[in-house]
Structure formats: structure tokens, C-alpha cells
Amino acid sequence: MPEQPGKNAIEVRGVRKVFGTGENQVAALDTVSVSIRENEFFTLLGPSGCGKTTLLRLIAGFDFPTAGEILLHGQDIAPLPPFKRPVNTVFQSYALFPHMTVAQNIGFGLEMLGKPKGETEARVAQMLKLVKMEALKARRTSQISGGQQQRVALARALAPQPKVLLLDEPLSALDYKLRKEMQIELKRLQNETGITFIFVTHDQEEALTMSDRIAVMSAGKILQVGTPRDIYDRPAERFVADFIGETNFLPGTVVSKQAGVATVKFASNATIAAGYPEGFDPTDEVTLVVRPEHADLVPDPAKGTIAGTLSNIVYFGTDTHYHVKLDGGDNFIVRHQNSRSSPVTYATGAKVGIQFEEDAARVLKD
């Protein structure tokens, strides 16, 4: 999809951020460019230390980029202090003001903007209703639970109607059930308010279920930007495939390629043809990635794409994992969803074939 400049809420252009000086210099962000569309739920996903929080802080204005521009609706905001940016943040620690009530916390931004008292009160009431906290508006923030603090932090950041809402791992402090609840809640709030959300997380499941688009980051770089499906089904790099979901990695050598499809030869001498990402020119050593659920077991080794010996069967309730030792020596996992009538039963030690479609496999840089 071509970029439409007018429709971008945030445009990050060639942003570098270096911390420290001299020999201690560390590039937290290494020339990052990304466009975030209006009304989009955009997620920055990556392991800790990948630069996702740094990028968020640059957009919020808590840090300033070493180089590059950050555009908000086409206007460069990189040199502006945080209080001059129509952008609000939900902090990982919530950072609620302990000396104020819930309602005072939510009204703080509006008050600082100099809104009339009546307008502030009306908006606070509206926000309290939106996050279902009306009953606790007079409480101190120390007198409410973690989940409730989370809601107040959201309401406080949404109250001034920012152009973009930044969320820095806001769900990481909540327990599993509450997190699931808040994921749905966040999606609802984004739909109702129509505000662009930029969400930072290291939780791939969270990213996949909530986002319109995801940027996968590692070591200060953005590796891939795409819809959850794009990222999952067509990872652009080995790191992306590895970080998101489970994947089988098969090392091999390119024997031929044409029209975006490369034929790869493996240790077992088997060959597989599979697509590769745009901009990657596969030569010599490559990795073939196949999602465990995109492959099937067949009883006849000759009928599979590749063949091996069943080494272990692990039952998970909803599905079963078959661990296969390939003839070339690599390990391969096939995930099979359990149904009422499983036609074939396998035994460990049996020779089996593994079958997958050409578009289930992908050739990536080793």
C-alpha cells in the first residue's frame, strides 16, 4: 500500500538517538524511519533494549533525537518540549500523582491547558464514565487497585484529546486475566475515541491480537512493518520469524532462483522451492522457515516434502506437537490441532513424511 503523506499521524524520518559520549556512546536508535497512519493502532514490538521505548520517548518529547525529524501531521515536533506537543503518554508505572484524587489526576492536563472549569469538569465526568471509574473519582490513587490505576492513567492521557496516544507497556504490571480484559478495553477505547494509538510491548501475543500494524524492532532498528498477518506469515527476517510465534528453521543452500522463488537444498539432499522477501537476494547459505501449524504429517515418508523419524509426541490438549528428527539431522516440529476424529495415530520411532505448501515456507537470510 503506497504511503499517503497527508494521512500520516506520525512520520519518523531518519531518526538516530545516541546516548553517552566518546567511547561509551550507544546508539539506542539507528536511523529509524516509519510512518504511522491516522486512527491506527500501531505497535512497536521487540525485546527489551531494542529501542522501542526510546522511540516512544522521542515522540513524547522526553528525549530529543541526535539526528532526524519527527513529523506530527506534517509538522516537525522534534525540537518541541513535551508540554507543547498534542501527544499524551500512558506510562508503564502509570505515574499517577499521589497527592491528587482520581478526578484531579484526570483533569490535570485540561487544567494545565487552561480550559474553563466547567469544561474540565464535564470532560472529567465523561472520561470517568468511559473507563468506568465514576464511583471512585474522589479516591486517592494509592487507594485503588492496579487495574483501576491503569484505567485512571488511560483516562488522564485521553482527557486532553491528544492527536496521538503513546502507551509504554501499560499492561505489563497486570495479572493475566486483567491483562486480557484491558486488551479488549484498549481496543474499545481506540475505536470509540478515534485517536491514533502507539503501543509499546515486548509481548508478541499482545501485539498480534491488538494491533492494526506492527513494527518489529531489534538492536535500534526497525526490521519489519506490517499487519499482524504479514508479520506472522511473511516474516522479512529470521529474527522476526523467531521472535513472533514458534518456527522451524532449516539451514540449506540455494541451488537456483527465479521470479521470487528460490530452490533450496538441505542436508538430506531434499530440495524445496519457496518464496523470499522483497529486497533479499538469496545466495549460498539460507534458512528456510516453516510455522509448525502450517505443516502436516503423512504416514508415507515418500509422500512428504521432507522425511524423518518421529522422536517425540507432546500432547497439549487443544493440539499435539510432533517432534521429527529429519533425515539430514535437523529437528522439525509439526503442530496438529486435535479433533474428535483423528484419522491416523502415530508412534514414536516411526518413519514419517512432513508435507507443506510452497507458500507455507519462506527463504530468509541465515
Partner 1 sequence: MTTATLSPSPLSQPPLSKAALFEAQAVKAGARRNRLLSLPALIIIGIFGVLPLIIICVYSFLVAAPYGGVQWHFSTDAYLNFLFQRDIFDDTLQFTPDFLIIYLRSFLFAVVTTIICLLLGFPTAYFMATRSPAQRNWWVLLITIPFWSNLLVRTLAIMFIIRDEGLINDALLALGVIDKPITMLYTNFAIQLGLLYAFLPFMVLPLYSSLEKLDFRLVEAAYDLYATRRQVLWRVIIPLSKPGIIAGCLLVFIPALGAYVTPLILGGGVHLMIGDLIAQQFGSGRNWPLGCAQALILMAAVLVALFFYVRNTSGKMQHG
Whether residue 140 contacts residue 98, with contact meaning beta carbons closer than 8 Å, is answered with: yes
- As measured in angstroms, the least distance from the Cβ of 69 to partner 1 is 21
- As measured in angstroms, the least distance from the Cβ of 293 to partner 1 is 33
- As measured in angstroms, the least distance from the Cβ of 322 to partner 1 is 39
Beta-ladder partners of 332: 324
Pseudo-torsion of CA 182, 183, 185, 191, nearest 10°?
160
- As measured in angstroms, the least distance from the Cβ of 125 to partner 1 is 17
Residue type, 239: F
Residues that bind partner 1 (CB under 8 A): 60-62, 81-83, 87-89, 91, 93, 95-101, 104, 108-109, 112-113, 132, 135, 145, 147-148, 156-157, 160, 178, 181
Half-sphere exposure of 80 (CA within 13 A, CB side): 15
Please, which residue, 93 or 337, has the CB nearer to partner 1?
93
CA distance 115 to 117: 6
- Distant-in-sequence, close-in-space partners of 180: CB < 8 Å, separation ≥ 6: none
Please, which residue, 51 or 160, has the CB nearer to partner 1?
160
Please, which residue, 157 or 361, has the CB nearer to partner 1?
157
* Sign of the C-alpha dihedral computed for residues 59, 60, 65 and 67 taken in this order: positive
Please, which residue, 62 or 316, has the CB nearer to partner 1?
62
Please, which residue, 95 or 270, has the CB nearer to partner 1?
95
Dihedral pair phi/psi, residue 273, rounded to 5° = -100, 135
- As measured in angstroms, the least distance from the Cβ of 12 to partner 1 is 19
Three-class DSSP category at 272: strand
- As measured in angstroms, the least distance from the Cβ of 112 to partner 1 is 4
- As measured in angstroms, the least distance from the Cβ of 122 to partner 1 is 18
Three-class DSSP category at 71: strand
* Residue whose C-alpha is closest to residue 343's, from 301, 309, 296, 307: 296
Please, which residue, 14 or 20, has the CB nearer to partner 1?
20
Q: Where are the alpha helices (DSSP H) in the chain?
A: 52-60, 102-112, 117-130, 146-158, 176-193, 204-210, 228-233, 238-243
Please, which residue, 97 or 316, has the CB nearer to partner 1?
97
